[in-house]
Amino acid sequence: MTILDSSIADTPAGPLSMLTGPGGAVRAAGFTADPATLVPLMHPSLRGDLRHRAELGPVTAAVRAYLAGDLAAIDAIPVEQHTGGAFQAHAWQVLRDVKPGEPVTYTGFAELAGRPAAVRAAAAACARNAAALFVPCHRVLRTDGTLGGYRWGLDVKEWLLGHEGRPLPTIGR
């Protein structure tokens, strides 16, 4: 059985649990104090037994740097997710290219992914993303610029976007 290293970082948005595989790539991350709740979000082939670590080396360092204002620090961290198809894998890579402070709409995200008519598929890629923060689905907004949904709560999404320099309207959340 694969061993997944887990760690929890304290953030102003709440605890961020992270799971990494044997090579150090992030397999799952989310704003929860219980890393075990991330396991069902992962593709079955990436799951394993959890081993808690105080830190995850470069992953923890990147989160600290991000929180300290180096918003690009998380970009270099490798992510390992399996998908239901080629579009989803491509969409997750496209999300990693969306810059902090420059959120896109679901329609804009579908366009960036090369399938302008696939707005629902783009939204589904956000919903199925198991590596929150590292694959920044929080940077995707509704067409009217309001928050839309976020697995970890709209307060977390709002904090992340504010931290990245994008104040948001509080109406229509």
- The residues annotated as belonging to the active site are 137
Closest CA relative to residue 127, chosen from 41, 25, 38, 28: 41
Helix 86-97 × helix 119-127 angle, to 10° = 80
**Segment (H or E) for 9:** strand 3-11
**What is the rounded CA–CA span in Å between residue 48 and residue 165?**
37
Place of tokens 């783009």: 122
3-state secondary structure of 162: helix
Beta bridge partners of 139: none
Do 23 and 77 form a contact (C-beta atoms < 8 A)?
Answer: no
The gap between the terminal CA atoms of the chain, to the nearest Å, is 42
